[in-house]
Structure 1
Amino acid sequence: MDMLDNLESLQFEPGIKEEDRCWLYLQGRYHGLMIKACAHATFFCKLLHHLRKSLHEKQTSRVAKIHRIGLLPSTPDEDGLNVGIIGGGHLGKQLARVLLQLVPIPPERLQISTRRPEALDEFQKLGIKCFYHNSDLASWANVIFLCCLPSQLPNICVEIQASLAKTCIVYSFVAAVPLLRLKNLLNHTNILRPQYQFGEGFDNIWGTNKDITDALQDPVLLLANCPYNPAGGIILNSKWVEGILYAALNTCTTEAMPCSQALKLLNELFSAHFEDCGKDGVSCPNFQLQDFVSRVYARSLSHKRPFPWFDLIAVQLKDTPFSNQRLTSTAFQNHLTHLYCGLFGISLTKEQQPVVPTSSPSQ
């Protein structure tokens, strides 16, 4: 409970001069941006965890009988996702809370590196390792969230670049540093960076004090956070969607999964049917090789071979086969919305079906 809820004179707004009140909308916009950033990072981790779990289930099924008769020791939770956060400020703390509660990531699978680990007492009590050693975190994590200031980023990149595995996904919230600059600083291509823009009309549905974890359990706010939904005046660049799909394929390639099985896994993820699909599911996405690689390459790629390793920087900055064939498809966008809400535990009714904009958000 907020002790200041009923004490207006001690709240922020009464201290603002009348001529400056026109800027109060920025408070809601800031909170909305924070909610969206945490929501999309959580969705990505949920998607990746789900995919890794499916990958390991398929791989371990071949030796399950051997494990049962005791010829091999049982393995630890290999499908678990190790997540590191660099930066323990407001964003880093909010992100850690959301990942812990909504993915959920076990405390032993989450680490935070910050210059002031002593300020993260609440997380240390939960069993999260909080320390100041960026390179150690980089060598341990499968996913790293950069929640630092732009001025701190060059030094951080110097510290972690030698420790980054090729398969580690770096997810940057540092809006002031573009993707190509990040690529050069880290000498790394497995990087995701969401880009947000503000629409002309701003409908403050976000509030200013609502807890972010609670906000992501609210069906109205969760739907507003869906990648293709411009509600609330904050729009996510659609190339982020491409980035997470190609990152998923890279995860399959890491495990040497044949491309045919990788496509099957993606199709299973997006197979949630809803009323508009029709009984036969004709409009459901059914990904093919040529959705992700060129037709010429697809003809030469054996179904038993893994996908090639994709440069996520190029995926987010250039047109891809997916851009041309799937990204603006209404069927794909609607299925992504259902997957998004479903991973947060919310099923959409027909009345809650998203209204997809006639033109996709700016790329």
Structure 2
Amino acid sequence: MDMLKDLESLQFEYGVPEESRTWLFLQGRFRGLMIKACAHATFFCKLFYVLRQSLYENQTSASLSPGSSFSATPASEPLKVGIIGGGHLGKQLAQVLLRFVPLPAESLRISTRRPEALDEFQKVGVQCFYHNTSLVKWADVIFLCCLPSQLPNICLEIQTSLKKTCTVFSFIAAVPIARLKLLLNHTNILRPQYQCANDFVNIWGTDKEITAALRDPAILQATCPYSPAGGITLNIKLLEGIFYAALNICTEKSMYHSHALQVLSELFLSEHFKDCGIDKASCPKFQLTDFVSKAYAKNLSQKSSFPWFDLTAVQLKETPFSQHLSKNTALQDQLSLLYCATFGVSQTKEQQVVSIGSLSQQEKRPQEPDAFSVTGYL
């Protein structure tokens, strides 16, 4: 309960000079960006959580190649998430992850210069300390929530301790992903990019915790990757990066590419098609050429895994999945449904049409696909 809500003289706006009030929209934009960032991070972690659980449950599958280390991993191993930075964003993100993934407290750790300021998390069992190197050695996913000025030193500190399989998710808008790749000497990086419209409409509210805001269907649907509501849009390259990151998890487990496609199709597509329970053949399925070039697919043997994808290249270049996603409105529908289902909210057909219609406004794609990437598979 906000005890100051009806006390006009104690509101933030009361002390702002009249000539400066035109800038008050930035307060709503900041809140909108915070809510979207936390929501998209949660979607990413929930997908990884579900995927890992599915892989553990199928660890004896015949599709695993001989010599796989997958069977040596205990089925109960949780997703381990680390946050570097315990400021406003770091704390809000931790609350949302604990509420919606849901992560057990022991699977979340925060490294910050002021761990004593995170007493509320330590009370519920979240480890809070100041040791970035220790955090990245432990974590499967690292969220960078520090200041841009702190980033070079942090990267220098952690780059030799980062596991190849650790996914780094950066919220530092001032540092582009190509620069992050150089600073970290790491390719498994995701970085959301947001575009704010000139005609900003504040639908984000002011007096709700972000966990409460994401239980509001209108606010949640405004955070949908394809939605232009609220005047803030997400570059869809993040979605591409998330799917290629999921394939990297399968590659880490030495899964045949056919099995990896089957797992992704069952988890992320079939669940939301009504006919799938009756006729499995009618369920949509990912194809090999949805993710790799036709030339690379032609030379990939049946008992091969996907290559290890450079997620920074995926987010900077045109990929096979870019074209598949932009042309396939049914897939866009499924991803919107999957996104809302992550937070326990159902999306109507009318809402899907409004959201998906904004794709062309969210990003400018190259005229021709990049067929000559360094790795040769995109």
TM-score, with length taken from structure 1: 0.92
2:54 aligned with 1:46? no
* Preserved CA contact (<8 Å) 1:149 1:174: yes
SS in 2 for 1:2: coil
Task: Write the deviation string for residues 23-66 of structure 1: whole angstroms up to 9, x where unpaired.
Answer: 1111111100000000000000000000000011000578xxxx
Cross-structure match for 1:119? 117
Cross-structure match for 2:368? none
Q: CA deviation at 1:167?
A: 0.2
Task: Write the deviation string for residues 102-128 of structure 1: whole angstroms up to 9, x where unpaired.
Answer: 111000000000001011111111111
* Preserved CA contact (<8 Å) 1:328 1:360: no
User: For 1:283 and 1:40, how far apart are their aligned partners in 2?
Assistant: 30
Cross-structure match for 2:308? 309
Q: Residue 238 of structure 1 aligns to which amino acid in structure 2?
A: I
Cross-structure match for 1:349? 348
Residue of structure 1 aligned with 2:171, choices 170, 173, 178: 173
Matches within 5 A, 1:43-82: 43-59=43-59, 75=74, 77-78=76-77, 80-82=78-80
Q: Residue 150 of structure 1 aligns to which amino acid in structure 2?
A: P
Task: Write the deviation string for residues 327-353 of structure 1: whole angstroms up to 9, x where unpaired.
Answer: 342211111000001111112234433
Cross-structure match for 2:363? 362
2:194 aligned with 1:196? yes
Task: Write the deviation string for residues 135-163 of structure 1: whole angstroms up to 9, x where unpaired.
Answer: 00000000000000000000000111111
Cross-structure match for 1:4? 4
User: For 1:19 and 1:12, how far apart are their aligned partners in 2?
Assistant: 15
Q: CA deviation at 1:179?
A: 0.8
What count of residue pairs does the alignment treat as equivalent?
Answer: 352
Q: Residue 163 of structure 1 aligns to which amino acid in structure 2?
A: S
The alpha-carbon distance between structure 1 residues 93 and 53, as it changes in their structure 2 partners (threshold 3 A), is same
SS in 1 for 2:49: helix
User: For 2:343 and 2:100, how far apart are their aligned partners in 1?
Assistant: 7
Question: Which has the larger displacement, 20-29 or 50-59?
Answer: 20-29
Quote the RMSD (CA, aligned, Å).
Answer: 2.3
Matches within 5 A, 1:1-363: 1-59=1-59, 75=74, 77-78=76-77, 80-268=78-266, 269-273=268-272, 285-355=284-354, 356-357=356-357, 359-363=360-364
SS in 2 for 1:162: coil
The alpha-carbon distance between structure 1 residues 284 and 58, as it changes in their structure 2 partners (threshold 3 A), is closer
* Preserved CA contact (<8 Å) 1:238 1:360: no
Q: Residue 323 of structure 2 aligns to which amino acid in structure 1?
A: N
Q: CA deviation at 1:312?
A: 0.3
SS in 2 for 1:353: helix
* Preserved CA contact (<8 Å) 1:43 1:343: yes
User: For 1:180 and 1:273, how far apart are their aligned partners in 2?
Assistant: 36
User: For 1:288 and 1:76, how far apart are their aligned partners in 2?
Assistant: 28
SS in 1 for 2:168: strand
User: For 1:133 and 1:243, how far apart are their aligned partners in 2?
Assistant: 28
Question: Which has the larger displacement, 86-95 or 323-332?
Answer: 323-332
Q: Residue 357 of structure 2 aligns to which amino acid in structure 1?
A: P
* Preserved CA contact (<8 Å) 1:206 1:232: yes
The alpha-carbon distance between structure 1 residues 296 and 122, as it changes in their structure 2 partners (threshold 3 A), is same
Q: CA deviation at 1:131?
A: 0.3
User: For 1:166 and 1:77, how far apart are their aligned partners in 2?
Assistant: 22
Task: Write the deviation string for residues 164-217 of structure 1: whole angstroms up to 9, x where unpaired.
Answer: 000000000011011111111100000000000112321111022321001111
The alpha-carbon distance between structure 1 residues 74 and 248, as it changes in their structure 2 partners (threshold 3 A), is closer
SS in 2 for 1:326: helix
User: For 1:221 and 1:283, how far apart are their aligned partners in 2?
Assistant: 33
The alpha-carbon distance between structure 1 residues 15 and 77, as it changes in their structure 2 partners (threshold 3 A), is same
Q: CA deviation at 1:77?
A: 1.7
Structure 2 residues without counterparts, runs of 5 or longer: 63-70, 365-378
The alpha-carbon distance between structure 1 residues 282 and 55, as it changes in their structure 2 partners (threshold 3 A), is closer
* Preserved CA contact (<8 Å) 1:242 1:316: yes
SS in 2 for 1:144: strand
User: For 2:3 and 2:272, how far apart are their aligned partners in 1?
Assistant: 45
* Preserved CA contact (<8 Å) 1:227 1:337: yes
Task: Write the deviation string for residues 5-40 of structure 1: whole angstroms up to 9, x where unpaired.
Answer: 121111111111111111111111110000000000
* Aligned-residue identity in percent: 66
SS in 1 for 2:159: helix
